[in-house]
Structures are given as C-alpha cells and as structure tokens.
Structure 1
Amino acid sequence: MASVVRFFPLLCWFLIVSGKNLRSKFDDGDDATCGYQSCNPVKDGMINVHIVPHTHDDVGWIITVDQYYYERVQYILDSVIPELVNDPSKRFIYVEIAFFSRWYREQNDFMRHTVKRLVSEGRLEFILGGWCMNDEASTHYNAIIDQHTLGFEFLRQNFGKCGKPRVGWQIDPFGHSREQASIFAQFGFDSLFFGRLDYQDKDLRQNRTTMEMIWRGSPDNLGTQSDLFTGVLPNGYSPPGGFCFDIFCGDSPIVDDTRLHDVNVKQKVDDFLKAMADQAKHYSTNHLITTMGSDFEYQAAHNWYLNLDKLIKHVNARQSSGSKVNLIYSTPSCYTYHVNKAGKTYTTKEDDFFPYASRAHTFWTGYFTSRAALKGYVRRTNNFLQVIKQLDALAILEDTDNSTFNINVLAEAMGVAQHHDAVSGTEKQVVAYDYAERLANGVNEGQKVYNDAVKKLMALNGDAAVEQNFCTLLNISVCDFTQTQKVFMVTLYNPIARTGREIVRLPVSKDQTVSFKVTGPDGKGVESELIPVTPDTFRIPERYNNTAKFELVFPVDLVPLGYTTYTVTRNTAVQKPALEKKPFQPGADVVLKNEYISVAFDGKTGALKNMTNLEKKVSMDITQSFSFYNGVKGNNSQPEFQASGAYIFRPNGTSVPITMDNSYPKLTTKAYFVQGELVQEVYQQFLPWLTQTVKLYSQQRFVQFQWTVGPIPIDDNLGKEVVSVFKTSLSNKGTFYTDANGREVLKRQLNHRETWPLNNTEPVAGNFYPVNSRIYIQDEAKKVQFTVLTDRSEGGSSLRDGEVELMVHRRLLNDDSLGVGEPLNETGSDGKGLIVRGIHYVMLEPMASAAAGHRDLGERLFMPPALSLSQPTDRQSHLGAKNTWSGVREALPDNVHLLTLQQYPSAGPAPSETQPFLLRLEHFYEKGEDPVLSQPATVNIQKLFTTFDITAATELTLGGDMVLSDMNKLKWNYPHDDDEPPRKTDPILRFESEKSGKSVSDPLSITLNPMEIRTFQITIQPAA
C-alpha cells in the first residue's frame, strides 16, 4: 500500500497544478497571503468549531528517528500535499522540522514550489517550528533556544515570512515549564497550546471555565514581554471519541449515502454536536478547537479529509434547522486570532505545570531522572556545541573548511536529543543507543571544527598550529594520550567571556621513579599533585582494563573566551610520590579545609557530619547518605496497580537508607582520605555498587560529591530508584526552590499546588520536581541557604524538614504501560546493570549572598572549558610563543553571559559583504537576588571581540528569525501591572549613524536587565 500512496501525489500534481506559474514572485513572499488573513471565514453568532488536521510525529521513541521517517513520516507528507492542492479550504499543520527538512530536501523542484505555494497561502502552516517538540523537564534553556533556532532558520530560508511559526504546540510533553512559556513569548509567539495537565487541575479548570489563560513566564523579571496566551486542548491532542478517521483507527467512517444500509450520518452528526456542546461548557468564547489527528496519522490523508468534508457538510447543514454550530478547516493560529478578537478577559498563572499526574497514583516524575547517563551526555555535548560555534565565529572559518556542515551534524543531533522521548529517558533502549550514537558522531564532526579554528587562531597568535587530540572518557580516568606521551600540551578553551580557574585531572601512568612537571603558558612551573584513582573507577566496565592508577592534578587560569596551553613533562630524574591514602581512625574526625570551606567527617565511619563556610562564617551540622525506593510492581490496569517505570515514579513505601555506619561485612575498604595542597578527598563505599568521593579543591567555594551508582542489584526481583539525601540542621518548613530549565527559580511547597487544592495520592512522587541545575532550601530564622547544583537534570524534593533529596539513578523491572513497552533496565558493556557517575556541587551561604555563588557556579558548570591535547613542537618552547589567547578585548561583566556566538545567515538586513553572525547576550541574575549583580548591565559590543569589529547590529527576536521591531503580537485582556513600558530599540544600530551622518556616542552599547536575553544579527569586519 505504501508504494501506491507514494505514487498518488505525482499524478495529482500533474493533473491539478500543471500550467500554474509556480515560479512567480510569490517565492520571495511578495504575493503571500499567509498569516491571519489566510484563515477561513467564521460566522458571527455561532459556535465556530476550528477543525485542525494534524499529525504528531515523535522524533524517535519506539523506533529510531530514521525508521519513523522512512516507515511513516514521508508517506504522511506525500499524502497530505495533494489533498491541500485539490481544495483551497483545507488546512494542515506540521511541527517537527527534523522530519520536514529531510522530506523537503528529497523533493524535486516542482514539488518544492508546490509546497511553497501552499505555505504562502496559509494552507500548510508550520506550528512550533523547532527541530523537535522538546521535553520541558530535562532540557536546558540554551538547548531549547538552539533547537528552535535551527528549525526557524530552515523555515526562514525556504519559506520566508510565511514559514515563521506564530504558535507554540507542546501537545505531548509530560508537564510544562514556565521558562518554556517565557521563551515562546520572546520568540514572538501569540499563543501556546498543550495537551497534558494534572487531572485534578483539569477538572477544576473545566468547572471554572479557565482552560485558557495568560501564562506569565517571568512575572518578576521580564514582566509582560514574557506573557503568553495559553490553552489546554480538550482531548489531549486526539479527536473527540468516535471521530478518528485514520486508516489505523477503529472508528466508523461517516456513511451518508441513503442508498446504503449502514447510513450513520445522522448519528455521527448528533454525536459530534453533543461533544461540542460538552466542550463549549469549559471554554469562554464562541470558538472551539478540535484536533483531528494523532501519532503518525495521515499516512493516507484522503481517508481523513473525505470524512472531515462530510462532517463539515452535514453539521453545517443543520444550521438551516436552527443549529448554531459552524465547522471550518482551521489551524491553531487562526483559532488564536479569532479568540483574541472575542475580547474576553483571562485569568493568569504564574507557576508551572509540574509535577503532572494523569490519574491517582500516577505521577510522571520518574522521567526527571530516567537514563541518567544519557542526560549527562546531552548536557556535556551541548557545551561542546557552543564551543565549536564560538570558535568557528572567532576564527571566521570559511565554507571551504566545511565547518557549517560539521557544526550542523552536531546541532541536528542535539536538536533531536531534546525531543520529549529522548533526553527525557522515555524511549526504548535501542532508540537511546541511536540518540547517543548521533551525539557521538556529531562530536566527532565538531572536533574537526575545533581543530581548524584553534589551528588558525594559534597561527594568528604566533603559536604553533598543532593537531589537537581529545579524550572523551576523562570522567572515568581514561586517556591513552596522557598515559603514553612523555611530553604533551594541554589546551583549555574557555567558552565564558570572563576569567576563571579550573582544576585539571588527567590519568597518567606512573612507577616508583617517575614524577611530572607542569609548565604554564608563561614558562613558569605550576604546582601539581598525583592522586590515586579511586577503587570505584576500576569497577566501571567501559574502562576496558585501562591501567591508569593515578591522576595528575593541577590548576589552570582561564582567559576570557580564549585558550590557554600548559605543558606536562614526565620527569624521570625527580621522584615525587603520589598523595597517600589514609585510613579513618575512630575518635579522630577528618577535616577537609581550604581558604573558604571546611567539611568534617566522622573518624569512625567516614560519614559527613559538618560543613562550614569560613569566608562567610556560616556553619551547620549536615549528613549525606543514600537511600533507595523499591518501585511498585503492578499491571497498571487501575490507579492502585500503577507500576513504577520510565515515566512514572511510584515507590512501594518509604526509602531504604544506606548509610556509612551500616555494617556490610563484604566491604574491604569502606572509607579513606587523601590530603594535598591542591586537592583533598574522602572516598566512601556505602555498598559494593554504591560509592562516592567527596572532593575539595583549593580556592573553590563549593564541595563536590562525585557519586558512582550501579549496577543496581535486582536479584531480589525488585526495581530500585536511588536517591542522595542531604540532612541539614536548617528548618525550611516544607518550602524549597528548584530552577526552571537552568534559568529562573521557582518556589515549591510540600503537598501544595498554587492553583488547586491538591489531593496527593503519592506523598513521595507527588512532591518531586525537575531539577535542571539547582535545588536549595532556606532557613528564614538563621538566614542561611543550602544549595545543591547538578551536572545533569534530576528529580528532587525536600520531603522532610532540613533535607534535600535528589534521585540519581533508576533501574526497574516493570513497564508502566505508557507506550514505551519495556522496563527501564539499562545495562552496561558487560551486560550487567549500567553504572552511572555524576557530581553534586554543594554550597552553604548566607541567604543575602547565596545567589552570587550559585548563579556563577551554575554558569560555569553548564559551560566548562573544552580540553584538548597535543604533542609539543620547538615553537611552543620558543620565547615568542604566547600559548594563551583571548577572543575578547575586555571581559564581560560578572552578571552577563555570552549565550550565542555563531556564523549565521541573514535574518534581517545584511548591509555588509561579510557573513553576518548571530550574537546573544544574557543577564543571568534575577531581580533582587544580589544588591550589585541584579542591577542592569551595559556592554559595548563594537570592539568586544579581538578578531573582528562589529559594524552594525540588528536586534532580532529570541529565535533569530525576525527583526525585533517587526514583532507585532496580539494584545490580550488580563490583570497585570501597567508600569512596564516596552523596551525601545532601533531596528539597526550602527557605529556611524546613517540618519544624521554624525558619529554617535556608544551606539553599540547594549543594556541588559535582569533575566533578559538580547539577540542580534551582527555584521563584522576583520580587526585591523
């Protein structure tokens, strides 16, 4: 059947479209009739039902993204296009640009012009426009913006202004983030629609007719510019019951031929009118939206449209006998437009839609942690993507270097990885492997860009342009390069445009007669230490019997947005022993202490007992241990039989504690410590499969807790969900704080929801929230804050007073019957349960100064330096070699982050012959967080960078696809402060004012307010 479906469009195009001038000036958008003016007309005084034909195409889930495309998606688009060509009234929306872009690339010129015509007439409309429909719990805001920018740019290049989405369409993610709404508003979207919200919340909203609202994405910082009209779809994203007309549906088609025995048109119309009457009770205007489609539907679009035509015809025919219902083909944007025209006043929402429960005992909070290794890999890979985009721009690489292609391989892999069944961890195992392989391939391509750019920059700087090598398994102490080379260079590129300090750890081979000498870029010696590789590292099977027994540790001073190169020499003439492992002794506490922090451990057990901020004079008793929950086993037939699985977290009771004072006779070494000038560590073994190293480095204001968990045992036939628990002497009284996608922080209250009275059927799972970068508690009486930052997304809570709990790893034996069809039972390369390693970063601060610490550290964790290795040449040791270079003339202010720097096609005017760049600067503090750093910040960008000067800057919307001054969003009625005037900006800023012909003082000075991201297309000229 597939071959017939695929051939059918060719015949339709020839018969229907031949003779039309498809190469007319409409290709440039001149004749475009897209936008709200392309909507089908409605009828006043009636209930207008907006029929929205759509397909939801997961970018991987049960099968891989490629398999979905070739087995399903290509046939959907092949089938829909002729239906739209044949009937001007028909509409269709498409969402996932990862799929559409590859389909469009495969088409011939004739078909592409056909599609452009449909887009220009508003009959085929792109909704959302991202590379995928991203998850909202496990994604970082940087990756969310990037994956939408990738999709937007494809649409802009191929369809111009008519390709620009106007609506967010998050119909399938499992809970919704306030930061996502803020981002959409800054894209210029007029609305957002989603399908899933808590069943109790939905019941109340339906009863109160508040299924549509104004979601305030950043009420305390960005104000009205982040507000967004938001609607909850009535049926998730499915049709009303009985009205699925896809070839894979079991619902009866509409039979309206009176000559047949099975005529059902009257019953179908009656049923549909009843469904609309029921829906109308829950919405406040005379417009209703009805989704007609679902997962991978419309592979035979004629089946759908044939029945929808009949439905529209016969429902509208009832108007002659008094019916007040009018059906039209429509889109979410057209629905938004007509609802806006109704002029209703809407309630507002200022919190988010986490956690999501679909029914009692069914909280979708397990996926906050599911596939913890993949979540960590996605975060690290996003970091590398930003590095190569920056280097490509700073080196001004040309297309002949293939950098655009190489970067796009990684960018597209990252875009796919943000999908709500990818980084979420809710895909089949084979699909998870496919996501990881795509990222690895992208990293390999990105390393080529890194090499080309760094070589060019080194040559320009007078350094030797040598080949850079990479070690991607440093987190498990594996690097053949550092273990075998007698002399090697270590280069660190800092993607943050401020100075910094990093501690480097490299696995090395050492015997009794070997030591190492580290030399800085200035030729002077750098202090270093050797530390034994921890026992838990040796049990990781992915090391493949690597023999490195020690790690070389030394500090590196980072230059802003630039590289620094250090030299390591194996010295056989001088012996320097490695730091010695020391056993704990009963009665003598072990204290790790640097200039800022002191942490004490019980001398008998090795367990944490106290933490002190020496700089701020704050101290408290604190313990840290692990626990695990046994996942409920069930058949999922009823809420009380719901099992814990990839999506659902449902423990069968309270957690089972695992503490250092438990007696496990099989353990040979429970704890030891090492103490040096640079690094101090306490190694803790809780169980044979659960270990941790607590690390304190010199000049750092935080403590690292590196946990290694797995293989989680299942020999008792019980799945387990492991949590790290910090118990403090603070009293937070059920209140804690978590971040939203790495940006703004939201207040959480135990067993409480802001917008409805909660009946919490799961006291543990119902209090877990996504922790993308940080979680903290505060003691108002003591004015103290305890913060834990994460290196990946995890689920977290504060279930008891003074505690912070973070889930780090899950292994389960039951499927939760939500589609994935297999238990979350990951295995490693040895076939046993997967071992996962991660880090928690712990800070203790006075509340007044805590934000400065966790904001700065959060930025550095999300953008750590990229490390590469090379063999030295004579030039590196030459006096003329600098071995350090910065891409900025002056460091950015402490509250400003360079979010994006990349070579980028023109989205606005391009008054220069050079390729325009995309530049995003962000203020990453909230209002009131810090007396100094929460103030507005100003940056002059004209001569900010060292390799080029900026000659003009055009401000764009956050997605980079529209000039900001052209944005004209719909206005809504809702209660809000009116003291937030819109920010005024010239569409084009130039060093020389073209309006007056005179030099303007600081025309390229950019002011950023708290939590503001400003996006510019910049034109450049190489620096003199």
Structure 2
Amino acid sequence: KMATPVYTPFVFLLLLFQSRVWGFPVRQTPQESPTCGYKSCHATKPGMLNVHLVPHTHDDVGWLKTVDQYFYGDRNDIQHAGVQYILDSVVDQLLKNPDRRFIYVETAFFYRWWKQQTDDMQNTVKQLVNEGKAREGDEATTHYSAVIDQMTMGLRFLNDTFGHCGRPRVAWHIDPFGHAREHASMFAQARVIRAHSNLNPAPSPPGILPNGYNPPEGFCWDQSCDDPPIRDDPDLEDYNVDDVVTRFLSIAHALVYKTNHIIMTMGSDFQYENANLWYKNLDKLIRYVNQNQSNGSGVNVLYSTPSCYLQELHRANLTWPLKGDDFFPYADSDHDFWTGYFTSRPALKRYERISNSYLQCSVLWLVEKAVAVAQHHDAVSGTEKQHVANDYARRLANGWAHCQVLVSNTLSSLSGSSAPRVYCEHLNVSVCPLTETSKKFSVNVYNPLARPVSWPVRLPVNGTAYSISDANGKAVDSQVVPVSQATAAVRRGRGYAVNELLFQVQAPPLGYSTYSVSLLQNGPPSPHFVTLRDFLSSLLCVCFPRYNASDGNNSESIQMSGAYIFRPNTSTPFIISKTAKTETLQNSVVQEVRQWFSPWVSQVVRLYTDSRALELEWTVGPVPIGDDLGKEVISRLDSSINSSGVFYTDSNGREVLQRRKDYRPTWNLRQSEPIAGNYYPINSRAYIKDDKDQLTVVTDRSQGGGSIQDGSLEIMLHRRLLYDDVRGVGEPLNETSDIYPEGLVVRGRLLLSLSPPATAADTHRPLAQEVVLQPLITFTDGELHPSTRLEFSGLQAVLPPAVHMLTVSQWDQDSVLLRLEHQYQASESKEPSQPVTVNLQKLFSTLDVLGVSEMNLSANQWKDEMTRLDWKAESGEKHLPKRGGDPSVWEVNLKPMEIRTFLLRVRQR
C-alpha cells in the first residue's frame, strides 16, 4: 500500500468530480497478541535493582554517506556502515533466542530492506515484531506540518505491515541536538511516550543514560569496538567473568535513578552488522550477573525495550516533574553550544521548506518520501557532508519533478484546458523563460490554505507595460520595474530579463485563480524614485553585521565554529558597512529601497500597497575568506522597543515560547558564551515587545537567532567556515556549487510586522502560515480557450480565522484524511483564541460527507480505541490531553492549539 501514491489538495479536488460513491474502510479492531506490546516484556524482580539492557543501532539516514551508500554498505572508505547487513544479522540472531530484544527506529531503511525480502522472510519478521518503531528526526529545524506527515507515512507503513503489534508506544529520539516542546506535544497526540526525556507537556519520566546512547564503558561488543569479549571457560588463563560482573555491578550501582529500574543502551552508530558478537556476549552478561543473586546480589539484568522500561516506571506510581519549556540551546561543554546548525546550509533549509509546501499541494509518494528523509537530524539540520547535502537536494528535486506532472494533469482536468503547464523554479532570482519571451500568457495561482490569500507576484519580463485581468475579466493594477543589479549578478547567465512585472493576486481557499497577461509596450522602464515611508527611520535600523568564527586559537577554549557549533571569536559583531549604496522607487504596487552594503551583501526593502508586513529580501555571498577567517552573517533589527532582555520564538512553527537572555527556566545558568549561548531555533517567527509595540519577524526557513541587546533581534542568515568543529562530520562548512564555485550565494526573505501586542498574533500567525504554505504558481503560454474554468474553490465557505486545514488527502481508494487545527494559543488573541466549531457537512463545495471517524494525530489508531499511560505530576494532578466535546458527530469543536484528525466517507453532489 505504501507504494501507492497518496495525494492531497490537487488530486483531492480532481476526485470531487468523480461520479462514484466512495467506500469507507472496514473498521477492524485486532486483539492484542499475548506476545507483543507490553505483554512481551520480561518479568522484573521487586526489591532488586532491575537493569534493562536495550540492544539498538543508530543508523543515520544520511550523514557522512548518502542514504543509498549507508544502506548498501558502499563507500566504506568514508565510514564502515551497511544497514542491510545489520537488519539481516539482527533478524538471524533474534530467531536463535526468544529472550532477545531489539529496538529499531529508522523506518526509511527498514522499508527499503523489507521490500527486498522474500515472503518467507517477511512472515518470519512479522512473528518477531514485539515492539513499535518510529523514524528519528531533527527537533530544532523542522516544521510541525512536515513532522506530522513524516510520522503518518512511517506509522502507516508499520500498521499496514504489522498491524497492532507494529504500533509504537514510545518515541525513541536519542540523537537530536536538543529537544523541542512541540515535538513532545505531537508525540503525546500521536499516543506515544517520549523515551528518556522529561519534556512532555504531560509528565513523562526523566532519564539520564549512563553513556549517551552508547554502551557503558568497557561493554561494547561490536566489530567496531575494542572491548574484550566475555571469556567464560574457567580452564583458560584469560577467564574474565568475575572481572566483567564486578565492573558491571559497579556501574549499575553508581547510577542513581528514581526507581529500582535503570536502563543501559547496548549499541551505537551502525552497530550489529555482526549481531552475533553483541548477543553472544549479552547472553553471557545476563546469565553471569543474575547467577550472583544466589550469593546475595540485588541486581537483576534483563533484555528490554524502551516501552518495557517505561512500563516499569509507570508501575512505580510515582510523581514526575512537569517541564513546560524545551531543551535549547544544547551544549556539551562551557564553550560548545550547538546553535550553529540552526542556520547551517541555509539554501538546503529553504529547499526543504519549499518542498514541504509542494507536498501539501500534492502528496506524491516520491515527494513525501524525499521530504520525510529530509527531516532527519543530519539533513535539514545541515550537519552532513557536502556530497550528502547534494544528495538530499537531488531527492527533493526528483520528487518535485514527478509532482509537476501530477499537478499539471489535475489543473488540466479542473480547468478544462490541456495547454501545457510551465513551472518557473527560479522566480526568486527573476528567471522564467516563458514570461521573459511571451507576449501573452496566463498565471495560475493555487492556494493550499483554507482561507483566501493575497500574494505579490514578481515576474521577469522584457517589456515595459502589460495588461493583466483576473478570472472575472477585471483589470489588475500592475507595474514594471528594472531588475536590480544584485539580481542580475546572482543569476549568473540563467536569465536575461531586464525588468520585473509586479501585481497582486487573490486566490480562493483550497483552490486556484487564473490571471491573463498581455504585453502592451517594449522599451526601458522609468521608475519614479522617491523616499520610502518612514517606517525604517522612525522605528527600526536594519544592518548586516557579521561574527568572525573562532578558529580555536584562544585561551578559554580550543573549540572552533563549525556545522554544529556557533562560536564567534568576539562578542562584538563587525559591521560590514556603516553606509549603503541606495536606490529608491515607488509606484502604485510597491515602495522599494535597494541597498548594497558590500559586493557580497545586499538587501531590498519592500512595502507592497495594503500589505500587513515589510519585506526584507536579503542576498548574501560569496562570503569572502581571503583573510582566513570564517564568517557568520546576521541581519540585526534594532528598535526602540523596551524588551527587557526577553524575546519570543516559535517551537517548530506552532506554539511560542518566551526566551530570556542569560536565563533558563528550570536551572541556574552560568553563561560562558554570551552570543552563542543566547541563540535559539527560529522555525517561522520571533518577536520582541513592550507595552506599546510588538516587532515580529517571520522567516522563510529555519534559522538561528537571538535578542542580544534590548530592543534588538538578530537572525543568522549565512555561515561560511574554515574549520571542522570536531563533532563527527569531518569537514568545514564551506559551501560552493557549480554556479558559485567561489562560494555559495543565498537569498531569502524576512517579513516584519509592527502591531500592538494585543493584536499582533492576528497578523504574524497568518503571515507565517502563508510563507510556509505559499501559493503554487504555474504558467501557460498563449491565450486560454474561452471555455477554460479560471477559478475554483474546494470549500463551501472560508473557515474561521482560527482554523487551519492542515491535511486533506486521499487516504486510500475509499477514504479521505482530514486534519483540522486550531492555530492560536489560549489568550493569544481576543477572538481567534476562543474555541471554534466547524461543521463537516458544510465544509466542501462539491462533496457530501456521509461518515466520519476520528483518529489520533498520526492516523494509525482510532481515537476511541486509544490508551496511554497516565503520569502524575509532582503537583499530584494527572495530566491527560484535553479533548473537545462535539455537539454532534458533524460538529467538530477545536480548542486552542488542538489538532484533530478524521477519516471521512464522501460522495459527489
């Protein structure tokens, strides 16, 4: 089933016109097997110290090698790793001893391996499955919509393949570089428990592993390890059982946990390629340690899994701390803050975000898989080798190429026009061959949001005047301006337009609108140069400082700045230029200031007519390194706001968390890095405020940033570094490309809004949503046929401002998956923060909803069949997820920050 394409809005709209009645999936409730889930856990011994040994492997879905190279075991000169052999070996060893256990989480690899197995082997593995799995991703630089899609895809595969016994009960995230609050919330709504973290908004047990996710020192028995095996023949001189048992008991007694249960991870990166080495020694370890119980030892060792360990903590019936913030920034030493990867590889971060937007328009299997893999903690994070980053980008591009075919076919069916569709993927640098040459063309704007949007369009052209009409034949105001010098330089010969055509488009909810464009006049444009509105001068100063990166040559620490770690060599940034060459123009569509701070840093400040936000389009690169210094370039926004050392950032694009300079909510901080130690991930927005004003910055990708000075926000834009930071990637973050061999050039946008704090959320939440799920623009050459349908909406009416249609997709042949979310936090806004109700029968414009069943967030379990361990907070309260009460089956009530997931049965009207 997973090989069958699963489509959202575009194909969903196409399906509205089908004449058949869709079926509804048969509701099946398989009984839990007595050998899977919690019932598969080995018995523990009350009154003893129970040591849970968790055999596992951590298999990066790309890092030092590409996904393919890791799976097949290619390029072992880079790193010895072959995932297919790991899975082969583990399955073989599990069959030899029913007591053995294993936890595996990289579903991307497992899916590949599974497809290559015979029916007999697949049946064998199904018999072995006694614990769920979930793919491990990054928590700092991912967007919640992409994370939910990733979870849904992986968990659906497990459901389809293994049924109830393949359903996860824990989220095994052992190698993200910090934990996010929003991830904890999503795991809770998916009805899994985060293992080894006390991050859940509902209490979850804290856990500190004895040696990261590695085995205890001296107990690694992989072929990549040097620790001696257990030699248990007493006739041999090197018999070492007594020594092994003594050392193990010493380690176990040194671990102070809240209960009489402790956990030890037995495995590490790409281990178990020869699983016999591990299991043979673990079998002996368990046997000989437990034999000591007859001599009075109070230690009991057993094979276990994360869910079995957590079950024992739950049985202890204790109270647990409740943590409301997150675990950022992460540091592994006083001067080693892992805050650089919030920005590393900004071009890839933007490509991932755009691809996720495409995914919401058309969930095609290849796009879905590529975007899911990109969520890996060494993918979108930017902490992989350069050739691996190139491979991620290639996968995204390949997925989108297939997606274009699907979108074109769907638009043709909806519009009744078979005219070829053209995609211009480099509009951000004014490149589009069709608009540069055609005298007459149409622009189709698809809006994936469930509310209408207004969006500025900038098209590269060579004419000076154009006539534009909307879907109703009404004339649309447009202007032509010259292409900036910075844009002409960054194109590097990929386009030759001298002008840009500007106009505003309107697109209906979950639908499209078509605009017709005709050339009226050729010749050079004559923009009217004026002074921009005094927004900038009265409130805000925008500048481009840079931090020089540490090369490790100082008295405090030898730590260098690298792909993971941000460490400037001074707390004072260098101003690239105190002045800027400036061009200013104004017309009926836009006011625009073009600024050049240096040959490699420029900016365009735009204010569109009736816009809610000021746009800052930045272009940085190639970053010069002739002075042998790595550089970290930021955009700093200095305002008159009295922020008192406090600023706010989003968590994975949803909830907003308060940050305070040199402060952590749950422990006393001794700040050792005043810049890097105050940087946080910004996935979609950040803001500062006082009683009067709130300045919000919306980003177009995940970036790092902070508020180092009161009234100031700084966003890191680009990093080019000359040293490896010694965290494993083994190369400096020094990006080049075929187009930019002297250093990568990156372009992006920041949107700024200034509002009273009480109403600011009404602006920045819709803005952030529009940037993440931006309209999809396609083109057709020539004049459209008169019978072409120029506009369509898949909804009966606009949804309330608080409601976002997060997912609408064909689930299988007989059902549609729908996710509705309340996108406001409680008390964030006067009206939108109130609970809201949506009637499912009044939702779609051409469909009747005949039946509905609610599911959990990841759509792998019916809501009314969900069970979850209840944890007591130290306050004594039980924390269960709050659910909305429905007046009827058709009325969906959404509370602030709530996401609800449904399977619908529908038919065409």
CA distance in 2, matches of 1:919, 1:328: 43
Shift of 1:524: 2.1
Q: What amino acid is aligned across from residue 768 of structure 2 in structure 1?
A: G
Secondary structure at the residue paired with 2:744? coil
CA distance in 2, matches of 1:138, 1:172: 14
Q: Where does residue 210 of structure 2 map in the other structure?
A: 234
Q: What amino acid is aligned across from residue 55 of structure 1 in structure 2?
A: T
Shift of 1:33: 2.4
For structure 1, which runs of at least 5 residues remain unmatched after alignment? 1-25, 195-212, 218-223, 390-406, 585-589, 593-597, 600-607, 611-620, 663-668, 906-913, 990-1000
Which of residues 231, 241, 249 in structure 2 aligns to 1:273?
249
Report if the CA contact (8 A) 1:515-1:577 is conserved: no
Counterparts of 1:67-466 in structure 2, within 5 Å, are 67-71=69-73, 72-119=82-129, 122=130, 125-127=131-133, 129-130=134-135, 133-193=136-196, 213=198, 215-217=199-201, 224=202, 227-279=203-255, 281=256, 283-389=257-363, 407-459=364-416, 464-466=417-419
Report if the CA contact (8 A) 1:32-1:162 is conserved: no
TM-score (norm 1): 0.83
Q: What amino acid is aligned across from residue 439 of structure 2 in structure 1?
A: K
Question: What are the Cα deviations for residues 19-52 of structure 1, in whole angstroms up to 9, with x where unaligned?
Answer: xxxxxxx997775621111101111111111110
Secondary structure at the residue paired with 1:170? coil
Report if the CA contact (8 A) 1:136-1:420 is conserved: yes
Which of residues 507, 510, 522 in structure 2 aligns to 1:558?
507
Q: What amino acid is aligned across from residue 651 of structure 1 in structure 2?
A: P
Q: What amino acid is aligned across from residue 790 of structure 1 in structure 2?
A: T
Counterparts of 1:448-847 in structure 2, within 5 Å, are 448-459=405-416, 464-510=417-463, 515-541=465-491, 543-572=492-521, 578-580=525-527, 582=529, 590-592=531-533, 599=535, 608-610=536-538, 621-634=539-552, 640-658=557-575, 661-662=578-579, 670-780=581-691, 783-828=692-737, 829-847=739-757
Report if the CA contact (8 A) 1:921-1:1013 is conserved: yes
Shift of 1:977: 8.3
Shift of 1:106: 0.3
Tell me how many residue pairs correspond in the alignment: 873
Q: What amino acid is aligned across from residue 471 of structure 1 in structure 2?
A: C
More divergent stretch after superposition (857-866 vs 227-236): 227-236
CA distance in 1, matches of 2:351, 2:553: 33
Which of residues 884, 890, 893 in structure 2 aligns to 1:1007?
893
Report if the CA contact (8 A) 1:27-1:116 is conserved: no
Q: Where does residue 66 of structure 1 map in the other structure?
A: 68
Report if the CA contact (8 A) 1:692-1:705 is conserved: yes
Shift of 1:421: 0.3
Shift of 1:661: 3.6
Question: What are the Cα deviations for residues 873-902 of structure 1, in whole angstroms up to 9, with x where unaligned?
Answer: 552xx2x54411101111111110000011
Report if the CA contact (8 A) 1:632-1:642 is conserved: yes
Secondary structure at the residue paired with 2:396? helix
Question: What are the Cα deviations for residues 381-431 of structure 1, in whole angstroms up to 9, with x where unaligned?
Answer: 100100114xxxxxxxxxxxxxxxxx1100000011000000000000000
Q: What amino acid is aligned across from residue 547 of structure 1 in structure 2?
A: Y
CA distance in 1, matches of 2:415, 2:104: 45
Shift of 1:233: 2.4
1:1017 equivalent to 2:881? Answer no
CA distance in 1, matches of 2:643, 2:628: 37
Report if the CA contact (8 A) 2:460-2:497 is conserved: yes
Shift of 1:982: 5.9
Shift of 1:536: 0.9
CA distance in 1, matches of 2:460, 2:146: 31
Report if the CA contact (8 A) 1:658-1:686 is conserved: no
Q: What amino acid is aligned across from residue 553 of structure 1 in structure 2?
A: L
Higher relative contact order (CA 8 A, sep 6+): 2
Report if the CA contact (8 A) 2:855-2:861 is conserved: yes
Report if the CA contact (8 A) 1:168-1:193 is conserved: no
Report if the CA contact (8 A) 1:776-1:785 is conserved: yes
Shift of 1:809: 0.3
Secondary structure at the residue paired with 1:707? strand
Q: Where does residue 394 of structure 1 map in the other structure?
A: none
Shift of 1:704: 0.3
Secondary structure at the residue paired with 2:244? helix
CA distance in 1, matches of 2:781, 2:627: 51
Report if the CA contact (8 A) 2:441-2:783 is conserved: no
How large is the RMSD of aligned CA atoms in angstroms? 2.0
Q: What amino acid is aligned across from residue 556 of structure 1 in structure 2?
A: V
CA distance in 2, matches of 1:57, 1:1018: 37
1:890 equivalent to 2:890? Answer no
Secondary structure at the residue paired with 2:537? strand
Change (3 A) 1:439 1:545: closer
Report if the CA contact (8 A) 2:194-2:200 is conserved: no
Report if the CA contact (8 A) 1:254-1:310 is conserved: yes
Change (3 A) 1:897 1:228: farther
Q: Where does residue 43 of structure 2 map in the other structure?
A: 41
Secondary structure at the residue paired with 1:349? coil
CA distance in 1, matches of 2:273, 2:811: 35
Change (3 A) 1:976 1:1008: farther
Shift of 1:135: 0.7
Shift of 1:634: 2.3
1:901 equivalent to 2:808? Answer yes
What is the percent sequence identity of the aligned residues? 48
Which of residues 863, 866, 872 in structure 2 aligns to 1:973?
872
CA distance in 1, matches of 2:883, 2:759: 32
Q: Where does residue 6 of structure 2 map in the other structure?
A: none
Change (3 A) 1:300 1:642: same
Change (3 A) 1:983 1:741: closer
CA distance in 1, matches of 2:423, 2:34: 49
Shift of 1:535: 0.9
Question: What are the Cα deviations for residues 321-349 of structure 1, in whole angstroms up to 9, with x where unaligned?
Answer: 10000111110000011111011111221
Question: What are the Cα deviations for residues 817-860 of structure 1, in whole angstroms up to 9, with x where unaligned?
Answer: 00000000001323111000011111111111111111111111
For structure 2, which runs of at least 5 residues remain unmatched after alignment? 1-27, 74-81
Change (3 A) 1:443 1:32: farther
Shift of 1:110: 0.2
Secondary structure at the residue paired with 2:156? helix
Q: Where does residue 938 of structure 1 map in the other structure?
A: 837
CA distance in 1, matches of 2:769, 2:334: 38
CA distance in 2, matches of 1:409, 1:45: 52
CA distance in 2, matches of 1:979, 1:263: 52
CA distance in 1, matches of 2:196, 2:123: 30
CA distance in 2, matches of 1:982, 1:63: 41
Shift of 1:950: 1.5
